[in-house]
Amino acid sequence: MKQLIECVPNFSEGRDLSIIKQITDAIESVKGIRLLNVDPGHATNRTVVTFVGEPQQVVEAAFRAIQRASELIDMKYHKGEHPRFGATDVCPLIPVTDITMEETVGYARLLAKRVGNELNIPVYCYEFAAFEVKRQSLANCRAGEYEGLAEKMKTAGWQPDFGPVTFNDRSGAIAIGARNFLIAYNVNLNTTSVRLANSIAFDIREAGRIKREGDPITGKIIADEHGEPVRIPGTLKKVRAIGWFIKEYGIAQISINLTDISTTSVHQAFDEVCERARDRGIRVTGSELIGMIPLQAMLDAGKYFLQKQHRSLGIPDHEIIKIAVKSLGLDELAPFDPDKRIIEYFLEDKDKNLIDLSMTDFVHETASDSLAPGGGSVAAYLGAMGAALGSMVANLTSHKRGWDDRWEEFSEWAEKGKLIYDELLKLVDKDTAAFNQIMDAFKLPKETSIELIARKSAIQSATKNAIEIPFRVMQLSYDSMDVIEAMAETGNPNSVTDAGVGALCAATAVSGAYLNVLVNASSFQDREAIKQLLEHAAELELKAKNRCEEIQMLVRSKIGM
* Contact indicator for 544, 511 with CB cutoff of 8 Å: yes
Instruction: Tell me what the mean pLDDT of segment 389-404 comes to.
Output: 86
Other beta carbons within 10 angstroms of residue 154's beta carbon come to 12
Q: Comparing C-alpha atoms, which of 495, 479, 485, 460 is closest to residue 418?
A: 479
DSSP string, 12-31: S-SS-HHHHHHHHHHHHTST
pLDDT at residue 1, rounded to an integer? 61
Q: Which of 161, 431, 479, 498 is catalytic?
A: 431
At residue 350 the predicted structure's pLDDT band, cuts being 50, 70 and 90, is: low
- Alpha carbons 433 and 351: distance in angstroms, whole number: 14
SS3 414: helix
Residues 6+ apart with CB under 8 A from 91: 7, 8, 9, 10, 62, 66, 111, 174, 175, 176, 177
For 349, counting Cβ atoms within 10 Å of its Cβ (0-12 exposed, 13-18 middle, 19+ buried), the class is exposed
pLDDT at residue 467, rounded to an integer? 94
Q: For the chain, give every domain's residue range.
A: 4-178, 183-347, 354-558
At residue 373 the predicted structure's pLDDT band, cuts being 50, 70 and 90, is: confident
Residues 6+ apart with CB under 8 A from 390: 413, 417, 480, 483, 484, 486, 487, 499, 502
pLDDT at residue 158, rounded to an integer? 94
At residue 217 the predicted structure's pLDDT band, cuts being 50, 70 and 90, is: low
pLDDT at residue 351, rounded to an integer? 63
Kindly state the DSSP code that residue 228 receives in the 8-state scheme: P
SS3 208: coil
What is the CATH architecture assignment of 354-558?
Answer: Up-down Bundle (1.20)
Share of the chain above pLDDT 90, in %: 71
**Residue 310 catalytic?**
no
Q: Which of 39, 74, 82, 300 is catalytic?
A: 82
Q: Quick one: residue 258, left, alpha or beta (phi over 0 = left, psi -120 to 50 = alpha)? A: beta
For domain 183-347, say whether CATH 3.30.70.670 is its number. Answer: yes
Q: What is the pLDDT of residues 180-200, one digit of tens each?
A: 888 889 999 999 999 999 999
CA distances from 181 to 108, 264, 375, 465 (A): 15, 11, 42, 35
- Alpha carbons 194 and 200: distance in angstroms, whole number: 10
pLDDT at residue 347, rounded to an integer? 81
Say whether 183-347 and 4-178 share the same fold. Answer: no
- Alpha carbons 206 and 93: distance in angstroms, whole number: 24
**Residues forming beta bridges with residue 259, ordered by sequence position:** none
Q: What is the pLDDT of residues 23-76, one digit of tens each?
A: 999 999 999 999 988 888 888 899 989 999 999 999 999 999 999 999 999 999
**Residue 82 catalytic?**
yes
- Alpha carbons 376 and 159: distance in angstroms, whole number: 58
Instruction: Tell me what the mean pLDDT of segment 5-18 comes to.
Output: 94
Query: Roughly what angle, to the nearest 10 degrees, separates helices 375-398 and 449-490?
Result: 30
Model-wide pTM > 0.95: no
pLDDT at residue 83, rounded to an integer? 86
What is the dotted CATH code of the domain comprising 4-178? 3.30.990.10
